[in-house]
Amino acid sequence: MGTGEMSSLGVIADAVRRRECILFVGAGVHAPPPQGSVYDWSREHSPALGAELSAKLASLCGLTERYPTEDTTNLARVATFFENRFSRHRLVQTIAREVQEQRRPSPILQMLASLDFPLIISTNQDGLLEEALYKAGKQPRLAIYTPDSQRTDDPDIRGADSPIVYKLHGDLGHPESVVVTDEDLMKFTMRMTEGDAFNPVPVGLKYHLTKWTTLFVGYSLRDYNLRLLLTTLRWRIDSANLPDMFSVDLNPDPLVLEVWENKHRYVKFLAEDVWAFVPSLCELVHAGEHSQ
């Protein structure tokens, strides 16, 4: 790590110890460790990641036979083709089989679950995060985005021993909530412009996003939908009144880096592999706890 990154790591570790850090968890927490890593993580236990899942769906619905030039790595488009050829029910069942059944939380996810995040927001639709939290002795309370109904509650953030897990793109245990096709994403985007009762992000969560440090692990901010979400959350709030946001990304997109970090100062990128960053964060957090 460089000096600036060590400083950022210290800021994050301090926020975690104070239980004032929000964790955003993406699919990259299940990416395999780099060659030579001390960690052993079998791919057979890992959920299919975005491009892999997309290619699987494309194969099952015969996409390339029907449309040879179609991009089989575009999950939202491929999922739309799959749903139109078969059914919504079969789409969700197939995704569950590829990302949930016989899968286990990665060592990285288990390490993150051991830390004290009162609020965890995830676009992952599997239940592996909740499983990791239970294994860490915590009692997660699940809140799920609902596309077609008014939200009736605002999750009560009580503490890190019983963290709120907000599933921003739905949960496979609630098929009606899953956001995966092009149309799902369009509806989600439209709801981001709605008033508080229909907005996908509850008021209480928005409040804490403006008060606490935020850490993104397992994401690439090249994802347009994620950038749209963050832009909407920051809308009409002066950056001087917002706490730091950090994104762990070994190879951040150069344009996103230039605009989001260097120009607008929205996010600070930590150019590290999650398999190096997360163990370092855990070590620093626990070292600070023992010194108090």
Q: What's the farthest any 2 CA atoms get from each other in the chain?
A: 63
The pLDDT assigned to 153 comes to 61
Q: Looking at the structure, do residues 67 and 161 belong to the same domain, yes or no?
A: no
Q: What angle do CA 82, 84, 90 make, to 5 degrees?
A: 55
The pLDDT assigned to 236 comes to 59
What are the structure tokens assigned to 280, written together? Answer: 């370092």
Task: Report yes or no on 53 lying in a domain.
Answer: yes
- Note the pLDDT tens digit of each residue in 181-199: 999 988 888 887 776 667 7
Task: Report yes or no on 217 lying in a domain.
Answer: yes
CA dihedral 140, 246, 14, 209 (to 10 degrees): -50
235 band by pLDDT with thresholds 50, 70 and 90: low
| Structural domain total, the chain | 2
The pLDDT assigned to 25 comes to 96
Q: Looking at the structure, do residues 132 and 263 belong to the same domain, yes or no?
A: yes
**Cα(174)–Cα(261) distance, integer angstroms:** 36
Task: Report yes or no on 40 lying in a domain.
Answer: no
239 band by pLDDT with thresholds 50, 70 and 90: low
CA dihedral 170, 172, 173, 179 (to 10 degrees): 30
Task: Report yes or no on 42 lying in a domain.
Answer: no
Task: Report yes or no on 80 lying in a domain.
Answer: yes
pTM metric for this prediction: 0.91
Q: Looking at the structure, do residues 70 and 8 belong to the same domain, yes or no?
A: no
Q: Looking at the structure, do residues 73 and 93 belong to the same domain, yes or no?
A: yes
The pLDDT assigned to 197 comes to 67
Write down the mean pLDDT value for the chain. 87
Task: Report yes or no on 38 lying in a domain.
Answer: no
Q: Looking at the structure, do residues 94 and 175 belong to the same domain, yes or no?
A: no
Task: Report yes or no on 82 lying in a domain.
Answer: yes
Task: Report yes or no on 231 lying in a domain.
Answer: yes
**Cα(218)–Cα(270) distance, integer angstroms:** 12
Q: Looking at the structure, do residues 94 and 111 belong to the same domain, yes or no?
A: no
The pLDDT assigned to 10 comes to 94
Quick one: 242 exposed, middle or buried, by C-beta within 10 A (0-12, 13-18, 19+)?
middle
Q: Looking at the structure, do residues 151 and 218 belong to the same domain, yes or no?
A: yes
- Note the pLDDT tens digit of each residue in 102-155: 999 999 999 999 999 999 999 999 999 999 999 999 999 999 988 776 555 667
Query: Residue 129: which CATH number?
Result: 3.40.50.1220
- Note the pLDDT tens digit of each residue in 26-51: 999 999 898 888 888 877 889 998 89
DSSP string, the chain: --HHHHHHHHHHHHHHHTT-EEEEE-GGGGSPPPTT-S----GGGSPP-HHHHHHHHHHHTTHHHH-TTS-TT-HHHHHHHHHHHS-HHHHHHHHHHHHTTT----HHHHHHHHS--SEEEE---SSHHHHHHHHTT---EEEE--TTS----------TTS-EEEETT-BTTBGGG---SHHHHHHHHHHTTS-TTTSSS-HHHHHHHTTSEEEEES--TT-HHHHHHHHHHHTT--GGGS--EEEE-SS--HHHIIIIIIIS---EEE-S-HHHHHHHHHHHHHHHHHH-
Q: Are 153 and 205 in contact, with CB atoms under 8 Å apart?
A: no
Q: Looking at the structure, do residues 112 and 95 belong to the same domain, yes or no?
A: no
Half-sphere exposure of 213 (CA within 13 A, CB side): 20
Q: Looking at the structure, do residues 79 and 158 belong to the same domain, yes or no?
A: no
Residues spanned by the domain of 83: 48-99
